[in-house]
């Protein structure tokens, strides 16, 4: 079933067939650059997760505000940069997420990059089913979206576009404002690798 798409959303079904994009015939042999479809995977989901887990990522909490005024926040490690001009970033959310309707509909959200000292906050926004913001210090942007205290950095984004791929929606945000933590002490980033939380250490002899 095709996921519901908000107005202005570009979904995979709206794009031309792969062979049209590549300018090739649909019977191109597998393994060639012009092949128009992937071969079936030779691994199961558990193996895929294990292999993906070897790619170390930062951790973010993405915040927004629902139409009724409620604050919404989720933990995500799928954040990445896209473009410097215009300034674009991306992240993804499972189509079955309870927060999906809010993020699909809203015009803005904030991506908070977590510090190593914020593991408990990360877990709270990943697992807590109640009011995730209760007792959490934050300040609001001009559009009323939380910036979490102690985050290493933050990006306030216009909800530029959404793309349906597999069991996730990819969100592309156009950054309107961003900043670094300018507190008196600088902390290391929170890193997720191999199913565990880490932080980073410099490599001797490498600047």
Measured CA angle at 115 (ends 113, 117), to 5 deg:
150
Q: In which order are the strands placed within the sheet that holds 57-58?
A: 57-58, 191-193, 196-198
Rounded to whole angstroms, how far apart are CA atoms 59 and 195? 12
Of the options 1.20.1250.20, 2.30.110.10, 3.40.50.970, 3.90.226.10, the CATH number for the domain spanning 57-198: 2.30.110.10
Give DSSP secondary structure letters for 160-202: EEEEEETTEEEEEEEEEEEEE--SSS--PBPEEETTEEE---P
- For residue 156, give Cα distances in angstroms to 6, 50, 88, 203: 20, 32, 11, 32
Give the pLDDT score at 205. Answer: 67
Give the pLDDT score at 194. Answer: 85
Rounded to whole angstroms, how far apart are CA atoms 67 and 4? 18
Mean pLDDT by 10 residues, the chain (207 residues): 40 39 45 74 92 90 96 96 98 95 96 95 89 95 95 97 97 97 78 85 67
Rounded to whole angstroms, how far apart are CA atoms 139 and 159? 20
Give the pLDDT score at 10. Answer: 38
Cα Rg for the chain, rounded, in angstroms? 19
Four-residue CA torsion sign, 162, 165, 113, 179: negative
Rounded to whole angstroms, how far apart are CA atoms 198 and 74? 20
Give the pLDDT score at 182. Answer: 75
Domain boundaries, the chain: 57-198
Tell me the three state secondary structure of residue 104. helix
How many CB atoms within 10 Å of residue 145?
22
Measured CA angle at 112 (ends 109, 118), to 5 deg:
145
Give the pLDDT score at 4. Answer: 41
């Amino acid at each position: 079933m095709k996921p519901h798409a908000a107005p202005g959303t570009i979904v995979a079904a709206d794009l031309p067939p792969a062979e049209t994009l590549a300018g090739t015939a649909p019977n191109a042999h597998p393994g060639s650059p012009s092949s128009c479809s992937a071969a079936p995977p030779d691994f199961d989901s558990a193996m895929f997760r294990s292999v993906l887990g070897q790619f170390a990522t930062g951790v973010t909490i993405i915040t927004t505000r629902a139409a009724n005024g409620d604050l919404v926040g989720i933990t995500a490690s799928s954040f990445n940069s896209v473009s410097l001009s215009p300034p674009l970033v991306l992240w993804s959310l499972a189509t079955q997420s309870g927060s999906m309707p809010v993020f699909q509909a809203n015009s803005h959200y904030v991506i908070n990059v977590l510090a190593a000292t914020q593991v408990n906050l990360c877990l709270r926004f990943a697992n807590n089913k109640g009011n995730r913001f209760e007792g959490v210090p934050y300040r609001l942007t001009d559009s009323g979206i939380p910036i979490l205290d102690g985050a290493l950095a933050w990006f306030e984004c216009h909800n530029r576009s959404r793309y349906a791929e597999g069991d996730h929606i990819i969100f592309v945000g156009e950054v309107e404002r961003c900043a670094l933590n300018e507190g008196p002490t600088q902390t290391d980033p929170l890193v997720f690798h191999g199913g565990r939380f880490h932080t980073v250490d410099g490599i001797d002899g490498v600047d």
